Amino acid sequence: MAYGFVDLRLNQRGGGEEGFWPSFTDIMTVIVMIFLLAMLTLLLKNMDLVHQLRASLAAERAATMQAQSTTHINTELNMRLKRLEEEAAMLRMRLMNLGEEQSRTLAELHESEQQNMQLKQTLSTITRARDVALAEKQAIEQKQADLAAALALRTRELAEQQKQYQLKIEAFGKLKSSSEAQLARLKRLETAYANLETKYNRLIRPARSPLGKVVVLVRYRKVAGTLHIEIKGPKDRDYQPVGGAELHKRLARLQQKHGKKLYVRIIFPDDSGLSYSEAWNLTESLLRLYDYYYQE
């Protein structure tokens, strides 16, 4: 016993030099065991860190895939919304066009009725012209019958188109709830559209489409009684305000460059402040001058 502690070392001997090496061996054994325990602890911690890192990488990959999926869905929804907005704008313009054609057709029918009345009065007084007047009357009646048959056929076609437009309008209403006022206006126009009578030679013409065309956007808005015009060319990133003369110059240059591939899309925002008559006049004049559909 030394200093109150029991000496537990093995192979104790009397000499100081003979007991040094066993003591040194015991110390090194303890140090090696401590080193092994430390290495084992570090290995366990490293394995835990590796598992955590793998879990973090897996979570990051899952988040990246989800973000890519969300971005793709948003892109598809934006493209679908844009197509529906263009179809709604084309529908409004076509309805206004058909309304004007209906007025002209009714005027022609009214004029035809007046001519029939004049012919009947003339037949009662002029005997020599009776045969000629009867022949003219038969020709007019035949023309009216052909027009009625064409109108009946077109009415059925318009009914089918109206169903398709109704489905598109309903889908557009789900994507853009704030357009309830526009949908109500379109429904009123569709009611008038169902009763339209148009000429047969205009019925077989294909619909106006921007596919394969160079699209130019023109936007009109009236502020405090002043007409504001903005244009966005195929290479422009945003709308540019222009005057009436500048607008025609730019459209003339584009028409000279692209010819019958120029598609002019005219936009009237909900708060444009323009009446239907003003919007129709602006659209009719601009399309007839530059749009491919009216150049053929």
Question: Does the pLDDT at position 285 exceed 50?
Answer: yes
Question: Does the pLDDT at position 174 exceed 80?
Answer: no
Over residues 56-82, the pLDDT tens digits come to: 888 888 888 888 888 888 788 888 888
Q: Which helix (H) or strand (E) holds 99?
A: helix 20-125
Delimit the domains of the chain by residue range.
208-296
Q: Indicate the SS3 state at residue 216.
A: strand
Give the predicted TM-score (pTM) of the model: 0.34
Query: Alpha carbon 220 to chain centroid distance?
Result: 20
Q: What is the mean pLDDT of the chain?
A: 80
Cα–Cα distances in angstroms (integers) from residue 135 to residues 23, 59, 138, 142, in the given order: 141, 88, 5, 11
The whole-number pLDDT of residue 1 equals: 43
| Amino acid present at 211 | L
Find out whether 169 and 180 touch, Cβ atoms under 8 Å: no
Question: Does the pLDDT at position 15 exceed 90?
Answer: no
